[in-house]
Amino acid sequence: MDPENSLIQEIQALRKERNAIILAHNYQPGPIQDLADLTGDSLELSRKAQETDADVIVFCGVHFMAETAAILNPDKIVLLPNPAAGCPMADMITAQDVRRLRQEFPSVPIVTYVNSSAEVKAESTVCCTSANVNRVVASFSDADTLYLIPDQNLAKYAARHTQKTLHYWKGYCPVHHGLSASMVLKAKAAHPDALFLAHPECRPEVLDLADVVTSTSGMLRYVRNDAHNAFLIGTETGILHPMRRDNPHKSFYPVSARMVCPDMKKTSLKDVLRSLKTLTPQVRVAEEIRLKALQAVERMLEI
């Protein structure tokens, strides 16, 4: 038996023993996605984390995702197999920054992308994801002005779908923000028959070139159901794994091979096994922060 299969068998046995569920984000390495009980985008995984009757949640993603699972599941053990898996965009804003914003804009609701720390969520009115940001913005029927944090590109995308005034923090995802219009045009020239799917975290000039703008789960649904056979994918390259696995007769091309998130690639099968063996590293959120952050997350989940 090869070492990878041996690791997987050990993980499967421990998973049953611990009554654990393994959640993996769509950007995780292929072997991690294949091992997971559930894969998805941050909204799907947030919902699944809330619904599970497992005692242990093994979250193969980055720190803020495991934190969100811990916010929703205070009585469960939440494990982040590799604690070094962070998010540069989440680190671009602090709770203190949000408190200052609230002083500057006292009557303006603060809509916070789930790609943020628990402390930042705790200072927010409501959370959103790339899949539901437009619905969340529209849900504020009495507010003419909102402040979106921390992703400027998601805010600019949302601004295209509302008459409201949207202020925004100048954070960004380095992977998506690094994609330029010229890179897209070059890829389109190389694959003229391919539809271009872009993530809302991309720059506005990139979204202008897209045939479809949607979240990672939206992309997976779209390529499964659409009649086209070739797609240019404008998001982190991990999404190509389930696309190619589940649609073997279609062709998928990364719009740029540079769209790789180092943090999303940090989790290994060995990390997952060690995590299940030792029930560490656990992600915990202080109760005072958890309760405040929970309000913002639950408001989102109710929309």
Note the pLDDT of residue 45.
86
Least confident of 17-21, 41-45, 179-183: 41-45
Amino acid at residue number 231: F
Cβ neighbors of 109 (< 8 A, separation 6 or more) are 125, 126, 140, 143, 146, 147
What would the two tokens of residue 88 be?
């540069």
Structure tokens at 161: 């779908």
Is 237 one of the annotated binding-site residues?
A: no
110 strand-pairing partners: 147
How high is the mean pLDDT of the chain? 97
177 is in an annotated binding site: no
User: Is 127 labelled as part of a ligand binding site?
Assistant: no
216 annotated as belonging to a binding site for a ligand: yes
- Is pLDDT at 118 greater than 90 in this prediction? yes
The CATH number of the domain covering residues in 179-257 = 3.40.50.10800
Q: Is the pLDDT of residue 232 over 80?
A: yes
Q: What is the mean pLDDT of residues 71-99?
A: 97
The answer on whether 253 is annotated among ligand-binding residues is no
- 1 has a pLDDT exceeding 80: no
Count CB-CB contacts under 10 A for residue 127: 31
Nearest to 200 by CA among 163, 230, 160: 160
Place of tokens 């699944």: 48
Does the pTM surpass 0.85? The reply is yes
Q: What is the pLDDT of residue 117?
A: 98
Fold of 90-172+289-302: Rossmann fold (3.40.50)
Query: pLDDT tens across 123-155, in order?
Result: 999 999 999 999 999 999 999 999 999 999 999
| Cross-strand partners of 171 | 151
Q: Which strands, in side-by-side order, build the sheet including 165-168?
A: 126-128, 110-113, 145-149, 165-168
Check pLDDT > 90 for residue 44.
Answer: no
136 is in an annotated binding site: no
Percentage with pLDDT > 90 across the chain: 94
Predicted pLDDT of residue 268? 98
- DSSP letter (8 states) at residue 190: H
Q: Which two tokens stand for residue 246?
A: 């589940």
Instruction: Provide the H-helix boundaries in 19-110.
Output: 30-35, 42-51, 63-72, 95-104
**Ligand-binding site membership of 200 (annotated):** yes
What are the sequence ranges of the domains in the chain? 3-87+264-285, 90-172+289-302, 179-257
Q: Which of 196, 229, 228, 233 is nearest to 212 (CA)?
A: 196
- Over residues 183-207, mean pLDDT: 99
Instruction: Tell me the angle at which helices 63-72 and 287-302 cross, rounded to the nearest 10 degrees.
Output: 90
CATH code: domain 3-87+264-285 is: 3.40.50.10800
Q: Is 130 annotated as a binding residue?
A: yes
58 is in an annotated binding site: no
Contact 172, 165 (CB under 8 A): no
139 is known to lie in a ligand binding site: no
Question: Residues 184, 195: contact at Cβ < 8 Å?
Answer: no
Buried b (16+ CB within 10 A) or exposed e, 253-286: bbbbeebebebbbbbbbebbbebbeeeebebebe
Whether the ω angle into residue 281 lies within 30 degrees of 0, i.e. cis, is: yes
The edge-to-edge listing of strands for the beta sheet with 56-60 is: 38-40, 20-25, 56-60, 77-79
179-257 has the same fold as 3-87+264-285: yes
The annotation status of 261 as a binding-site residue, yes or no, is: yes
